[in-house]
A and B are shown apart, each in its own frame.
Chain A
Amino acid sequence: MEILAVDNISFQYPDMDEYVLDHFSMHVSEGDFVVVCGPSGCGKTTLLRLLKHELAPVGKQSGTITYAGKNVLDYDERTLIEDIGFVFQDPENQIVMDEVMQEIVFGMENLGYSNFEMRKRVAEMVHFFGMEDLLDKKPSELSGGQKQMLNLLSVLLLKPKVLLLDEPTSQLDPVAAKDLIVMLERLNKEMGMTIIIVEHRLEELFAIADQVVMMEKGAITYKGTSREVIESVYTNDDKQFIPYIPSVARLYLSEEKKPIQTGIPLTVKESKAWLASLDSKPKETHEQPIESILEHTKPLLSVKKAYFQYDRYAPLILKNLSLDIHPGEFFALVGGNGSGKTTLLKLCIGMIKAQRGSAKFAGKDIHKLKGKELYERMAYLPQNPQTYFVQDTIEKEMRSVMEQNDIQDGEQEMTNMLALFGIRHLRHRHPYDCSGGELQRAALACMLLAQPDILFVDEPTKGLDPIAKENFANVLKDLHEKGLTIVMVTHDIEFAAKHVERCAMLFDGEVTVDGTPDHLFKGNYFYTTAINRATRLSNRQEVLTLEEAFDQW
């Protein structure tokens, strides 16, 4: 039975010339798992918001949205609130109350449920989610993944028939993201819930989805089952959408001599089966000698035997941690949530001081650096680049940086920077009117005016679509080639494996291992790329990235 139907919807925001949605139609049957993807600004979030009537943006709209056979405008508010649930992107901002239990019942309280009904539903669902231990906690004590689970739970208690999710995993680390997706799969399979999810991280979703919709400029570009969509994107060689396709599927389509649609592997298991059918090729067993990565230069940044805890009774976050960064390196630090990545970064930029041990930048204690020594030599791109902007346009921001650094003929320099990062059109924009990727590049452009020696980057791939991610990687690569030292903290293994020179894995407050991406990630169960998991112990040479496979096979 058809549960949601979007017919010929066009939508235009006030004061905008373009249509965000342009004669868009989509039909969803009950129990479907629909994945919607596309570059930022393609109208997918607007679509999702139009489906949730209370959140519908203000603007000019034509066409109809039908829910269970009736136009949504004819429903009373209450039914729609109950039947259509919505989970947002940011785990933190959706939480309203200051206690987990209060937050869980928030929706039910608003709709005036009886105490009996609330207790019944809470007892059932909290158990299903296994969240009993968290009930007495404060939301601020939960991890990102737990917060997002809490949001999902709170929405589910209203017993929605359709669940809408707007990039729910984009702020989560891979483990938490996987947990959330597994939970969605369960809801879909065990309870028959209809799910429409907008997402950039697609490797796992393709395997679950019944319907994939790829959008561009407010219209559908590809639509169909996962395999249909993958095949047509690949045969059209569509540069816009190829990065969205899981790497194993791409490997199959390029390596297999007679690819058939039903044979496209979507999971690691399927890819292993396919790889087993390939003729085996001799593996080069060139066991790369673990060359001395430690160059013979003096390290630019050096952390020695650092210990840190936030409070005398709090657990140690960093334990006996040592790390050297040499000039000109592109270095990534990976590790799970709570492994101390962010704390280490704070130590490196001198926000905190190690209780024991030292952190030195060019021979000086970082915590004591101030003024010129700091802003002329270091740059720090945070997870939320909006924290960088003080002025109300990007141009003004750049001017203030130039003033601070006494840059002569800045006008020329500024134009060059804007061109280098491809953000000339943003010059007079307010920082809050830019997308995440644009904001990142704008912040980088401002920082690099001062020509720093070292750049710290914190989780740069959070919330970026695959194209924006690639653009950002290219920017970093350029900078690296020009001699900038880059230190990146990330949990995006695919990204690190593809672009970085040297990696270190942080576990339990210590750098456990340190080496090239090859050494570090190959052969892992979890901390590795999907393609490595598939090619490990197969007939072919083990590879870490798709490019490597094209290269070596």
Chain B
Amino acid sequence: MENGIRGYHPYVVFFYYICTGFLVMYFKHPLFLATALIILICVNISHDRGKSLRKWMIPLMVMSLFFMVLNPFLVSRGTNILFYFRGKQVTLEATMYGVVMAIALVSVIVMFVSFNILLNGNKFLYIFSKVLPRTAFLLMLAIRFVPLLKSRFDEIRAVQRVRGTTMTVGTLRQRARNGMYMIQVLLTWSLEEAIQTADSMKARGYGIGKKTSYIPYRMEKRDWGWLATLLVLFSVCIWGGMLGYGKIVIYPELGTLHLYVLDWILFVCMTIILAFPLIVEGRERLRWKY
């Protein structure tokens, strides 16, 4: 059993991501979005000290800059004109819209990075297998093949390199032909080996009757507790959002950024939802310290 957030039932974790993904795209208020982004980054750091997020750093920055800069220059909707660029108006609204979109997009990607860490392969498949059991099984077989094919291809490349068949030298035509040869060897060989896999499945009774599935995860009290909490808070957020709180009017004219009491309530709700992994991890860490 894993610790912290990883120990929670995949359904709960999956529901957390549904809420997060929805809310990040639902609320448009810059304060809400900025807070969401910061929390999500912290969530990522709590998983693996931000190791996987760091790989995304540069593309994320480039992308958000792209949005923030391009949107005001390409879109000239809006009322408050900041200045003119080559005879076109650059408006406050379009700038704001670019910023809001950029933060929302970056948040979604940061969320997926975290999703990838928490609900990796098998947990994800587990969630899927409830809905689409056959597809999930097929997917599992396919995933199993990836490392197999890779190691086989490496072996073929080594052998063929010494034989003078490579994809690194020669004319484009030669390289393509050599590549095809190697793929051909890979396929024939893999098919041959896959017969054994099929035998092994048959020997263990695949396809003789209705399959049950081993359930490695159990919904426990704390899982239900968090699921209920998330659900309540999420409903509050949706309801408030429908009344127009937590959002801003951008076009045609930028509305007020002022926050009312209900806005603050929604803000707290959203923060708690998003910080669910942080709360869990933090509580665990505290328990170890004291």
Asked whether, in the complex, the Cβ of A118 is within 8 Å of the Cβ of B161, the reply is no
30 A-B residue pairs with Cβ-Cβ distance under 8 Å, sorted by A, are A55-B202, A77-B205, A77-B208, A78-B205, A78-B208, A86-B203, A90-B196, A92-B148, A96-B197, A97-B141, A98-B122, A102-B140, A110-B204, A111-B205, A111-B208, A112-B211, A113-B212, A115-B212, A118-B214, A158-B205, A349-B161, A351-B158, A370-B168, A375-B162, A386-B188, A387-B152, A387-B159, A388-B159, A388-B160, A456-B162
Interface code A97-121, partner B: CB below 8 Å = 1, 0 otherwise? 1110110011111111111001100
* A239 contacts partner chain B, Cβ-Cβ < 8 Å: no
Asked whether, in the complex, the Cβ of B203 is within 8 Å of the Cβ of A52, the reply is yes
Contacts of A158 in B (CB 8 A): 204-205
Contacts of B141 in A (CB 8 A): 96-97
Asked whether, in the complex, the Cβ of A390 is within 8 Å of the Cβ of B216, the reply is no
* A471 contacts partner chain B, Cβ-Cβ < 8 Å: no
Assembly CA distance A226 to B156 (angstroms)? 42
Contacts of A350 in B (CB 8 A): 161
Q: Dominant SS at the B interface? A: helix
| Most A C-beta atoms less than 10 A away, residue of B181, B184, B213 | B213
Q: Least Cβ distance of A442 to chain B in Å?
A: 14
Asked whether, in the complex, the Cβ of A55 is within 8 Å of the Cβ of B203, the reply is yes
Asked whether, in the complex, the Cβ of B215 is within 8 Å of the Cβ of A115, the reply is yes
A355-400, CB < 8 A from B: 370-372, 374-375, 378-380, 382-384, 386-390
* B87 contacts partner chain A, Cβ-Cβ < 8 Å: no
Asked whether, in the complex, the Cβ of B122 is within 8 Å of the Cβ of A374, the reply is no
B180-201, CB < 8 A from A: 181, 184-185, 188-189, 192-194, 196-197, 199-201
Assembly CA distance A374 to B161 (angstroms)? 8
Ranked 7 nearest A-B pairs via Cβ: A375-B164, A107-B204, A140-B147, A94-B200, A93-B196, A110-B205, A380-B162
Chain A residue nearest to B178 (CB atoms) is: A390
Interface code A73-98, partner B: CB below 8 Å = 1, 0 otherwise? 00001100110011010101111111
Pick the contact of B166 from A82, A105, A110, A370 — CB < 8 Å? A370
Contacts of A78 in B (CB 8 A): 205, 208-209
* B210 contacts partner chain A, Cβ-Cβ < 8 Å: yes
**Chain A positions near chain B (C-beta within 8 angstroms):** 52, 54-55, 77-78, 81-82, 85-86, 88, 90, 92-99, 101-102, 105-115, 118-119, 138-140, 151, 154-155, 158, 346, 349-351, 370-372, 374-375, 378-380, 382-384, 386-390, 404, 432, 447, 456
Q: Least Cβ distance of A500 to chain B in Å?
A: 22
Asked if A384 meets B155 with Cβ closer than 8 Å, knowing A90-B196, A99-B122, A370-B166, the reply is yes
Asked whether, in the complex, the Cβ of B122 is within 8 Å of the Cβ of A110, the reply is no
Assembly CA distance A82 to B193 (angstroms)? 25
Chain A residue nearest to B206 (CB atoms) is: A110
Pick the contact of A387 from B140, B189, B208, B209 — CB < 8 Å? B189
Asked whether, in the complex, the Cβ of B213 is within 8 Å of the Cβ of A109, the reply is yes
Pick the contact of A370 from B151, B169, B202 — CB < 8 Å? B169
Asked whether, in the complex, the Cβ of B144 is within 8 Å of the Cβ of A108, the reply is no
B127-181, CB < 8 A from A: 140-141, 143-144, 147-148, 151-152, 154-166, 168-169, 181
Contacts of A154 in B (CB 8 A): 204
* B59 contacts partner chain A, Cβ-Cβ < 8 Å: no
Asked whether, in the complex, the Cβ of B162 is within 8 Å of the Cβ of A96, the reply is no
| Most B C-beta atoms less than 10 A away, residue of A88, A114, A375, A390 | A390
Asked whether, in the complex, the Cβ of A93 is within 8 Å of the Cβ of B211, the reply is no
* B121 contacts partner chain A, Cβ-Cβ < 8 Å: yes
Asked whether, in the complex, the Cβ of A371 is within 8 Å of the Cβ of B169, the reply is yes
Asked whether, in the complex, the Cβ of B161 is within 8 Å of the Cβ of A387, the reply is no
Asked whether, in the complex, the Cβ of B148 is within 8 Å of the Cβ of A94, the reply is no
Contacts of B211 in A (CB 8 A): 109-110, 112
Pick the contact of B197 from A94, A115, A375 — CB < 8 Å? A94
Assembly CA distance A151 to B197 (angstroms)? 12
Asked whether, in the complex, the Cβ of A390 is within 8 Å of the Cβ of B165, the reply is yes
Asked if A112 meets B159 with Cβ closer than 8 Å, knowing A81-B204, A92-B148, A106-B204, the reply is no
Pick the contact of A81 from B156, B161, B197, B208 — CB < 8 Å? B208
Apart from A81-B205, A86-B203, what 8 extra A-B contacts exist at CB < 8 Å? A98-B144, A99-B121, A107-B204, A110-B207, A110-B211, A118-B212, A379-B162, A390-B181
Assembly CA distance A16 to B265 (angstroms)? 82
Asked whether, in the complex, the Cβ of A378 is within 8 Å of the Cβ of B212, the reply is no
